[in-house]
Amino acid sequence: MDWINAVLQGLLLGGQYALLACGLSLIFGVMRIVNLAHGVLAVASAYLALWLIQQTGMPSFLTIVIVIPVLAAVGYAIQRGLFNAALRHGELSPLLVSFGLAVIGANLLQEIFTADSRKISIGGLSTSSVELGQLRLGVFSLITLVVAVGVIVGLQLYLSHTRIGRAMRATKDDPEAATLMGIDERHMYALATAIAIGTVALAGVFLGMSTQFSPTYGDLVLIFAFEAVIIGGLGSLWGTLLGGLVLGVAQTVGAQIDPAYGVLAGHLVFLVVLLFRPQGLLPKAVVA
Amino acid sequence: MRNGLTTGRGLSMAAAGVAAMALTLTACGSGGIGNEGGGGEDTLTIGFVSTETGSSAPFGEANSFVVDEMEAYFKDHPVKVGDKELDVEIVVRDAQSDTTKAGAVAGDLINKDGADIIVASSTPDIVNPVSEQCEANSIPCITTVAPWQPFAIRSGDKPADLKYSYHFFWGLEDVATVYQGIWSKVENNGKAGGLFPKDPDGEAWGANFPALTEASGVKIDNPGNYPNGTKDFSAQISAYKGHDVLVGVPIPPDFTTFWQQAKQQGYNPKVATIGKALLFPSSVEALGPIAHNLSTEVWWTPTAPYKSSLTGQSAQELADAYEEKTGKQWTQPLGFAHALFEVATAAVTEAGSTDADAITKALSGLEVSTVVGDVAWGKDKNVPPYVAKTSLAGGQWRQVEGGKHPFELVVVENSLAPDVPLGGEPEALK
């Protein structure tokens, strides 16, 4: 029974990782940029939500209506203002720019919000669970998993069935040809980042509801999101979902063997995938 | 062709990403905030290694308040040294919660700022490298807010031989006694679950607690130390079921994850004594109502009957001044940061000189009544001569409706600190 429980809890945990990772995956899939500011943007979203709640008293879940558009706008600005320029100087430049953003962002958050640990309160939801025979599954974790699947399905549909989504994929496949067809490459990239950072905002608010965060908490988040992306296959959204779930289950099953091996088991799966299947589990989906 | 290219490129990016991430984890933080300057003949320069940024920033949160207060105090009260009155200059440098940086800024304080004495208040990761720098440069250093074992025992199992470092705080044996005191007042089945992470604190607690608490009749089951940042505790929770006592020293986000998940999965211990994660009121508030009656150790509280040897403020007055100026609830490191300056001043006055050896000699037998209680070196034979033990009590966080703060830390155990008045009896968790 403990083992079944470990697998189920792992799938729920995987939902959180997948939600966190899909923005990273999208930015990589379209622009080949590894965004190291991903974690700090997630934490910044959580702080923004917290600030909104304190200022207006609005319900916790409603904050996403404001946080997502704000962060999407920030994403658009970052892409147009920084990443697009950096992309012209080779593939390492955007990586370094995003690293700089991460350091500046974490310190800025500390200046504004201090180093205190904070959490977005969701009342009894954080401790409520549904019973499944002898097993108990956290309600909030279930919601997170459903949202993660929803976001990834939504993104996938958007990319394959809308005009802008198709233009984005075209730009990714062949920027020159896409430009010839009248697509503004810089705008497409910025839109993709805006959508990606929008999902980061959603993930960040959920992260802030799930546990305590502080300005430097983003680093911890980034590693797991990154591993989920690599395990699943770089730039593939379905892969990211699968990668998140695999990582979550690896951690909980590893911890069931010995608590010391939980996080390690996740890292090992990551390493094994890099060694034997470097393209990831699902390398080529609609976006790849 | 394109596909092959993409994969190759992707991997090099992935490798670069991992490398850069390693950087992110070790090097985060902003520049230092030192003000340049060196001590002249008539100035006593105190170098303060603080943690203003980074993961240990909550430990340093009260530091800038204390430094402001002290600067104002020393302006009107120069320190009497021998037959001279010395102005006091406090130079603060930020260690950014990084152990390498802590040693580097201590070196800067000594060599660039001409510090006569170094003080530091934070975790072993910070105070140990600071003390090493001071030993190497033969400059006296006073440290606190790290249990004495990780400070003294740096390699092997023997305390290090230190000439210029003086430390005041409690030890693991004290926290074990306090926790046992709390367990004994709440009816339990004698079984405890141990929540110990894989970090210096977790390793030290996990290795020593079972033996230290053996006499209490409570047996600690440790399913294995887990790494910090663990996001799922189902394995621990299933191992702990049926254990009435919970003991551990997790970091705040991990404890939140654990405690919420424990509630979800129906694990309800009767008493939980948790170090580190419940130190700061902000972490307790973040937990919300499920934090009610969680227990932790209390090294300093405003209700303690101690007074500052410099400003004459009582512990309560110091806490009130902090709350008024910053608008935030008092935290335990506040008293100890203040006491650092009391001890430094007393040592220099006693030495009658700013000479390093004279100050060190004065420290070796110094006795000061500070805002954290009596600090005296060379009195306790059970600890190295450079360690002075301070008293330790135990408390429970109680949710107060309509109070000044959402949660108050109520003292419920004072067998090691009889001076500190009890605010109530230990209550069982619901």
pLDDT digit string (tens) for B218-227? 999 999 999 8
Query: Please, which residues have CB within 8 angstroms of residue A264's CB and are 6 or more apart in sequence?
Result: A254, B227
List, as ranges, residues 37-76 from A with C-beta within 8 Å of B: none
Is residue B376 classed as helix, strand or coil in its secondary structure?
strand
CA–CA separation, A251 vs A260, rounded Å? 10
The answer to whether the Cβ–Cβ distance between B280 and A32 falls below 8 Å is no
CA–CA separation, B63 vs B337, rounded Å? 6
For residues B139 and B117, the answer to whether their CB atoms sit within 8 Å is yes
Reading the block at residue A26, the tokens are 């999208």
Nearest by CB to B235, from A6, A96, A226: name it: A6
On chain B, the residues whose CB falls within 8 A of the CB of A210 are 257, 260
CA–CA separation, A47 vs B171, rounded Å? 36
- List the single residue in B with minimal CA-CA distance to A108: B30
Reading the block at residue B272, the tokens are 């939980």
Q: Does B207 touch chain A (CB under 8 A)?
A: no
Q: Does residue B31 surpass a pLDDT of 70? A: no
Domain B173-298+393-413 coded CATH 3.40.50.2300? yes
For residues A121 and A135, the answer to whether their CB atoms sit within 8 Å is no
CA–CA separation, B185 vs B190, rounded Å? 12
Q: State the angle between helix axes of A218-232 and A237-257 in degrees (0 to 180), rounded to the nearest 10.
A: 110
Is residue B154 classed as helix, strand or coil in its secondary structure?
coil
The shortest C-alpha distance from B330 to chain A (Å) reads 13
Q: Where are the domains of chain A?
A: 2-276
For residues B318 and B338, the answer to whether their CB atoms sit within 8 Å is yes
CATH class of the structural domain B43-170+303-388: alpha beta
Q: Give me the numbers of helices (H) and strands (E) for chain A, helices first please.
A: 12, 2
For residues A47 and A175, the answer to whether their CB atoms sit within 8 Å is no
Region B249-262: mean pLDDT is 92
Amino acid found at B183: W
| Sequential DSSP letters for B137-185 | HT--EEEESS-HHHHH--STTS----SSEEEE---HHHHHHHHHHHHHH
Pairing of strands B393-399, B271-274: unpaired
Reading the block at residue A181, the tokens are 């067809």
For residues B199 and B192, the answer to whether their CB atoms sit within 8 Å is no
The answer to whether the Cβ–Cβ distance between B13 and A126 falls below 8 Å is no
Phi/psi of residue B279, nearest 5 degrees: -70, -45
Q: Does B15 touch chain A (CB under 8 A)?
A: no
Q: Looking at residue B40, what is its pLDDT?
A: 56
Q: Does B223 touch chain A (CB under 8 A)?
A: yes
On chain A, the residues whose CB falls within 8 A of the CB of B288 are 119, 121, 123, 126
Lowest mean pLDDT among A34-38, B5-9, B295-299: B5-9
CA–CA separation, B81 vs B183, rounded Å? 49
User: Percent of chain A, pLDDT > 90?
Assistant: 64
Q: Looking at residue A1, what is its pLDDT?
A: 79
B316 CB-side CA count, 13 A? 5
Is residue B399 classed as helix, strand or coil in its secondary structure?
strand
Nearest by CB to B17, from A36, A213, A235: name it: A36
CA–CA separation, B383 vs B170, rounded Å? 10
CA–CA separation, B379 vs B364, rounded Å? 10
Q: What band does B4 get if pLDDT is binned at 50, 70 and 90?
A: very low
Q: Does residue A162 surpass a pLDDT of 60? A: yes
CA–CA separation, A105 vs A97, rounded Å? 12
Q: Looking at residue A284, what is its pLDDT?
A: 61
Q: What band does A111 get if pLDDT is binned at 50, 70 and 90?
A: confident
Q: Does A19 touch chain B (CB under 8 A)?
A: no
pLDDT tens sequence across B132-169: 999 999 999 999 999 999 899 888 788 999 999 999 99
Which of A71, A73, A62 has the alpha carbon at shortest distance from A40?
Answer: A71
CA–CA separation, A52 vs A64, rounded Å? 10
Q: How far is CA A109 from CA A116, A147, B35, B330, B338, in A?
A: 11, 27, 24, 22, 27
Q: How far is CA B22 from CA B2, B27, B102, B114, B180, in A?
A: 30, 9, 19, 34, 40
- List the single residue in B with minimal CA-CA distance to A247: B231
Longest dimension (CA), chain B: 85
pLDDT tens sequence across A71-108: 999 999 999 999 989 988 888 899 999 999 999 999 89
| Sequential DSSP letters for A120-147 | ---GGGGT-EEEETTEEEEHHHHHHHHH
Q: How many whole angstroms from its chain centre is CA A191?
A: 17
CA angle B252, B258, B259 (to 5 degrees): 90
CA–CA separation, B390 vs B409, rounded Å? 19
Q: Looking at residue A271, what is its pLDDT?
A: 95
Containing A242, the helix (H) or strand (E) segment is: helix A237-257
Q: How many whole angstroms from its chain centre is CA B22?
A: 26
The answer to whether the Cβ–Cβ distance between B16 and A92 falls below 8 Å is yes
Q: Does residue A180 surpass a pLDDT of 50? A: yes
Reading the block at residue B363, the tokens are 């420290």
The shortest C-alpha distance from B178 to chain A (Å) reads 26
pTM score of the predicted model: 0.84
Q: Does B263 touch chain A (CB under 8 A)?
A: yes
Containing B307, the helix (H) or strand (E) segment is: none
Nearest by CB to B253, from A99, A116, A117: name it: A117
Q: State the angle between helix axes of A139-161 and A185-210 in degrees (0 to 180), rounded to the nearest 10.
A: 170
Q: What share of chain A is helix, strand, coil (3-state, %, to 5)?
A: 80, 5, 20
Q: Looking at residue A103, what is its pLDDT?
A: 92
Q: Which range has the top average pLDDT, A165-179, B14-28, B337-351? A: B337-351
Beta-bridged to residue A209, according to DSSP, are none
Q: Looking at residue B41, what is its pLDDT?
A: 67
Determine whether B22 is exposed, middle or buried from the number of CB atoms within 10 Å of its CB (0-12, 13-18, 19+). exposed
User: Percent of chain B, pLDDT > 70?
Assistant: 90
Reading the block at residue B239, the tokens are 């191992």
Determine whether B99 is exposed, middle or buried from the number of CB atoms within 10 Å of its CB (0-12, 13-18, 19+). middle
Q: Looking at residue A285, what is its pLDDT?
A: 47
The answer to whether the Cβ–Cβ distance between A255 and B10 falls below 8 Å is no
Lowest mean pLDDT among B101-110, B152-161, B293-302, B375-384: B152-161
Domain A2-276 coded CATH 1.10.10? no
Q: How many whole angstroms from its chain centre is CA B355?
A: 29
For residues B105 and B92, the answer to whether their CB atoms sit within 8 Å is no
Q: State the angle between helix axes of A38-56 and A64-78 in degrees (0 to 180), rounded to the nearest 10.
A: 140
On chain A, the residues whose CB falls within 8 A of the CB of B30 are 107
Nearest by CB to B260, from A36, A127, A274: name it: A127
For residues B271 and B426, the answer to whether their CB atoms sit within 8 Å is yes
User: Percent of chain A, pLDDT > 70?
Assistant: 98
List, as ranges, residues 212-251 from A with C-beta within 8 Å of B: 212-214, 216-217, 219-220, 222-224, 226, 230, 234-235, 248, 251
Q: Which value, in Å, is the radius of gyration of the alpha carbons in chain A? A: 19
Q: Where are the domains of chain B?
A: 43-170+303-388, 173-298+393-413
Reading the block at residue B353, the tokens are 């000189």
Reading the block at residue B196, the tokens are 């110990």
Pairing of strands B407-413, B393-399: antiparallel
List, as ranges, residues 98-117 from A with C-beta within 8 Å of B: 99, 102-103, 106-107, 110, 114-117
Q: What band does B57 get if pLDDT is binned at 50, 70 and 90?
A: confident
Q: How far is CA A86 from CA A38, A81, A89, A213, in A?
A: 17, 9, 5, 30
pLDDT tens sequence across A238-274: 999 999 999 999 999 999 998 888 889 999 999 999 9
Mean pLDDT of chain B: 88
Beta-bridged to residue B399, according to DSSP, are B407
Region A17-26: mean pLDDT is 94
Q: Give me the numbers of helices (H) and strands (E) for chain B, helices first please.
A: 14, 16
Query: Please, which residues have CB within 8 angstroms of residue A100's CB and are 6 or more apart in sequence?
Result: none
Q: What band does B320 get if pLDDT is binned at 50, 70 and 90?
A: very high
Q: What band does B308 get if pLDDT is binned at 50, 70 and 90?
A: very high
| Beta carbon pairs, A and B, within 8 Å | 184
Containing B248, the helix (H) or strand (E) segment is: strand B245-248
The shortest C-alpha distance from A53 to chain B (Å) reads 14
Q: Does residue A24 surpass a pLDDT of 50? A: yes
Dump strand ranges (E) for chain A.
Answer: 129-132, 135-138
Q: Looking at residue B321, what is its pLDDT?
A: 97
- List the single residue in B with minimal CA-CA distance to A7: B234
CA–CA separation, B422 vs B430, rounded Å? 22
